Amino acid sequence: SLETILFEKKDGYAKITLNRPDVLNSFNEVMHVELRDALKDCQKDDGVRAILLTAAGRGFCAGQDLGDRAVQGDEGPRDLSQTIDKFYNPLLRLIKSIEKPIVCAVNGVAAGAGANIALACDIVYAAQSASFIQAFCKIGLVPDSGGTWTLPNLVGVARAKALTLLGDKISAEQAEEWGMIWKCVDNDALVETTEELAAKLAQQPTLGLGLIKRAINEAPTNTFDEQLDMERDLQKLAGFSDDYKEGVSAFLEKRKPNFTGK
């Protein structure tokens, strides 16, 4: 049974809830393993056609559990590249490589790696009382979990530099205004809005949505010409899908499509 997350499947989607509320759902090794295994399960399971990531309590995720980083007596310096290689980077690569929409419902403060994991998801909603903090600079670290790539892409270099060098708290409203997230919603509306969205996404042409995700994710490192070629190649794949056939037929027959995700 799971110790640090909740994992349920319903209405065609999977809901993962980070569940260490006493430490604002910061990451220990068990949570890394449980989250990774849950996401891999979602990746493999054809019955899961969207993923909703959220968290329990008043915070979303405060990044690395610093309780596990207490400096011990005369212990030598810790090599943090090891946890990055073992846990954070594989997690971020997994979030990017799952070709299904991942909705993030940021229910409260998202700090450090917690912020960058949220921002790596595909559609990010935040409760009005939620906030985002690039906390790394305050403890002498560098933003990880893709933040130095994701932030400039989302909000531009000027804002990315100030956010990461100052570590200021950004409100959910500000994050929406800047295009850092998709939408800020009333606290009371977050659960319903994001569950409805995940259920709706689970009825859509999953294969096509997965290819859209791939195209947008790869765009920043492609030239325009490379991207045009990529779109052609992905359109070829999409054009062979059952859901494309169904989509066109339903349109011409003026009825609602019944997509299977294939």
Which residues contact ligand T3D by CB under 6 A? 23-24, 26, 62-67, 69, 80, 83, 109, 111-113, 133, 135-136, 139, 141, 144
Min separation Cβ 78 and ligand T3D, Å = 7
- Nearer to ligand T3D (CB atom), residue 67 or residue 76: 67
- Tell me which H or E stretch contains 22: none
Min separation Cβ 63 and ligand T3D, Å = 2
Q: DSSP class of residue 182?
A: S
Min separation Cβ 35 and ligand T3D, Å = 14
Residues 135, 111 contacting (CB under 8 angstroms): yes
- Nearer to ligand T3D (CB atom), residue 145 or residue 194: 145
- Tell me which H or E stretch contains 40: helix 29-44
Nearest residue relative to ligand T3D (C-beta): 63
Q: For residues 249 and 178, give the distance between their C-alpha atoms in angstroms, rounded to a whole number.
A: 39
- Nearer to ligand T3D (CB atom), residue 63 or residue 210: 63
Min separation Cβ 5 and ligand T3D, Å = 17
Q: Where are the beta strands (DSSP E) in 81-199?
A: 102-106, 109-111, 123-127, 131-133, 169-171, 183-185
- Nearer to ligand T3D (CB atom), residue 66 or residue 189: 66
136 alpha-carbon distance from chain centroid: 19
- Nearer to ligand T3D (CB atom), residue 130 or residue 211: 130
- Tell me which H or E stretch contains 147: helix 147-155
Min separation Cβ 179 and ligand T3D, Å = 23
- Nearer to ligand T3D (CB atom), residue 149 or residue 244: 149
- Cα–Cα distances (Å) from 222 to 80, 219, 230, in that order, read 30, 5, 9
The answer for residues whose C-beta is within 8 angstroms of residue 210's C-beta and 6 or more apart is: 99, 100
Min separation Cβ 153 and ligand T3D, Å = 20
